[in-house]
C-alpha cells in the first residue's frame, strides 16, 4: 500500500501562504499531528543548527513557528540537536559541534537561541554526547544501536529535516536525521566506521597520555606502575580517544565503504524508530536550499535545483523518496557545481543525486567526470528493506485557500 506524502509548494504569493508560519503547521496537521498532542505534552523538534559558516541550514524562523504551533496546541516544545563526533575545539570542516557547550555557541551565531525559539535548546544525547539507550535490532550490520537518551523525556518528536545532498549518503533527509541525528555521539562514529574498536597499546608513542586526558569516564587510565588500561565497563563509546590518538594503530575504529556507511546509518534509523515508535514521530522535510553539501559542512555551495517546498508524511522513506523524485524532476541550476560536470547528459532534468560530489578514500571528489553512482538509491532501498517505510507513495499537493 502506498504512503501519503503531503506537498506544499515553495511558491508563495502572500503572507497567507507563509512557508514558515502557515505551510509548516498545515503540513503537520495533514499527517494527524493535532490528534496526537495532549495538553502539556512535551514535544521535541529535532533539527540541525548547521556547522559554523554553513549558510544553507534551515532558517530559525521555520522552527520558531513550529514551536509557536506546538504551544497553541497546549504542548511544551523544545528544540534539539545531538553532539557531533570528535573532540571539542576541532577546527576542521566538521568541527565545533562536539559537545553541547560548543554546539550551542554555533546555534547562537546561526540564530537559534531560547529567545529566538521561545523554547529550550538541548542535545538529545546529553551535554557530552554520552547519554544513550541501547536498542537491539536485526540490522544489516548492527545488532544494537545507541539511541540518543534524552528522547525518552518527550511524548512526541517532530523530525524537522533540511532535505539536501550529502557526499556520503547520496542525500540527507528524514532517514539521515533519524540515523545520524537521533543517535549518540558514538552512534554517529559507529555509522561512519566499522565498529571494530580495538586497542594495541604496544604501539603507543612514548610519554603519550592524550587518550587518558580526553576520556570523560576514566575508562582509559594508568595503573600504579603507569601501564595503560581500558576498563570496558566504564566506557560510554564516545570514541574521543580514537580522535586524539595519532595514526599509529594504537587505537583502531576501522573504515567502511560508502555503501556500508549508508547501511549502518539506516540500521541506526531502525533502532531509533524501534525505540521511540513511529507513531510518536511526525516527519517534515524542507526541500529548499538543496545543495550538494550537507548542513554539517562549514561553507555552502549554491543549490543545484530551485526550492521545491515543504513535504510531510508519517513514512520517512516515502517522504525522502518524494523529495528525491521532485529534485530529479527539477531543472538544474546552471550556476551550480553540476553544470561543471563534463560528459553529463545535457538534459534539463536528470537524476541529479547520481552526479553530486562524493567522498572517496576520505577526500571529496568533485566528480567533474560525471561518474554516476546510486548511493541515493541504496539509502532508499536499504530503508525500505529493513522496514522503515515504503518507497511507493501518493503525492498530495495542498493548496492554501486565498482570502476573498
Instruction: Give residues in contact with ligand SF4 (CB under 6 A).
Output: 204-205, 208-211, 214-217, 219-220, 228, 235-241, 244-245, 250-251
Nearest to 287 by CA among 373, 165, 199, 113: 165
Residue whose CB is less far from ligand SF4, 62 or 239: 239
CB of 129 to ligand SF4, least distance (A): 9
Beta-bridge partners for 230: 220
Q: How far apart are CA 216 and CA 252, in angstroms?
A: 19
Nearest to 170 by CA among 36, 392, 357: 357
CB of 193 to ligand SF4, least distance (A): 12
Backbone angles phi, psi at 240, to 5 degrees: -65, -30
CB of 254 to ligand SF4, least distance (A): 14
CB of 142 to ligand SF4, least distance (A): 17
Beta-bridge partners for 77: 43
Q: What's CA 394's distance to the chain center, in Å? A: 25
Q: How far apart are CA 288 and CA 302, in angstroms?
A: 11
Nearest to 388 by CA among 183, 186, 178, 194: 178
| CA angle (36, 6, 296) in 5-degree steps | 85
Indicate the SS3 state at residue 50: coil
Residue whose CB is less far from ligand SF4, 147 or 356: 147
DSSP 198-242: EE-GGGPPTT--HHHHH-SSS-EEE-TT--EEE-GGG-----HHH
Indicate the SS3 state at residue 165: strand
Q: How far apart are CA 95 and CA 159, in angstroms?
A: 23
CB of 181 to ligand SF4, least distance (A): 20
Nearest to 129 by CA among 231, 243, 257, 221: 243
Question: Cell numbers of 266, please?
Answer: 539506516
CB of 283 to ligand SF4, least distance (A): 32
Residue whose CB is less far from ligand SF4, 253 or 317: 253
Residue whose CB is less far from ligand SF4, 240 or 324: 240
Q: Are strands 220-222 and 228-230 parallel, antiparallel or unpaired?
A: antiparallel
Residue whose CB is less far from ligand SF4, 107 or 215: 215
CB of 244 to ligand SF4, least distance (A): 6
Nearest to 304 by CA among 351, 371, 347, 352: 352
CB of 252 to ligand SF4, least distance (A): 10
CB of 350 to ligand SF4, least distance (A): 43
Amino acid at each position: 500500500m502506498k504512503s501519503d506524502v503531503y506537498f506544499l509548494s515553495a511558491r508563495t504569493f502572500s503572507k497567507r501562504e507563509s512557508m514558515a508560519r502557515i505551510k509548516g503547521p498545515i503540513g503537520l496537521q495533514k499527517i494527524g499531528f493535532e490528534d496526537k498532542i495532549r495538553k502539556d505534552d512535551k514535544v521535541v523538534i529535532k533539527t540541525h543548527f548547521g556547522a559554523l559558516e554553513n549558510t544553507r541550514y534551515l532558517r530559525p524562523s521555520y522552527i520558531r513557528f513550529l514551536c509557536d504551533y506546538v504551544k497553541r496546541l497546549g504542548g511544551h516544545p523544545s528544540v534539539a540537536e545531538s553532539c557531533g563526533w570528535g573532540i571539542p575545539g576541532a577546527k576542521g570542516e566538521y568541527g565545533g559541534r562536539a559537545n553541547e557547550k560548543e554546539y550551542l555557541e554555533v546555534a547562537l551565531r546561526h540564530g537559534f537561541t531560547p529567545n529566538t525559539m521561545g523554547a529550550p535548546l538541548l542535545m538529545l544525547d546529553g551535554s557530552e554526547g554520552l547519554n544513550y539507550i541501547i536498542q537491539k535490532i536485526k540490522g544489516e550490520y548492527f545488532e544494537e544501536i545507541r539511541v540518543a537518551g534524552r528522547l525518552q523525556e518527550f511524548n512526541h518528536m517532530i523530525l524537522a529535516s533540511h532535505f539536501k545532498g550529502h557526499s556520503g549518503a547520496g542525500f540527507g533527509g528524514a532517514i539521515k536525521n533519524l540515523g545520524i541525528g537521533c543517535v549518540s555521539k558514538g552512534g554517529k562514529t559507529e555509522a561512519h566506521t566499522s565498529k571494530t574498536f580495538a586497542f594495541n597499546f604496544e604501539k603507543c608513542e612514548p610519554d603519550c597520555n592524550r587518550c587518558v586526558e580526553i576520556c570523560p569516564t576514566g575508562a582509559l587510565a594508568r595503573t600504579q606502575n603507569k601501564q595503560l588500561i581500558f576498563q570496558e565497563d566504564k566506557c560510554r563509546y564516545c570514541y574521543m580517544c580514537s580522535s586524539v590518538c595519532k595514526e599509529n594503530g594504537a587505537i583502531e575504529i576501522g573504515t567502511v565503504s560508502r555503501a556500508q556507511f549508508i547501511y549502518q546509518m539506516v540500521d541506526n534509523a531502525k533502532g531509533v524508530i524501534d525505540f521511540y515508535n513511529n507513531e510518536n514521530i511526525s516527519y517534515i522535510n524542507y526541500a529548499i536550499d538543496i545543495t550538494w553539501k550537507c548542513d554539517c559542512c562549514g561553507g555552502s555551495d549554491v543549490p543545484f535545483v530551485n526550492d521545491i517546498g515543504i513535504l510531510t508524511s508519517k513514512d520517512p522513506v516515502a517522504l525522502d523518496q518524494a523529495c528525491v523524485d521532485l529534485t530529479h524532476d527539477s531543472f538544474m541550476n546552471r550556476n551550480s557545481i553540476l553544470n561543471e560536470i563534463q560528459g553529463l547528459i545535457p538534459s534539463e532534468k536528470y537524476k541529479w543525486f547520481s552526479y553530486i560530489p562524493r567522498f572517496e578514500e576520505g577526500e571529496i571528489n568533485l566528480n567533474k567526470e560525471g561518474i554516476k553512482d546510486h548511493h541515493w538509491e541504496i539509502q532508499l532501498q536499504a530503508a525500505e528493506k529493513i522496514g522503515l517505510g515504503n518507497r511507493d507513495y501518493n503525492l498530495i499537493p495542498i493548496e492554501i485557500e486565498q482570502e476573498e
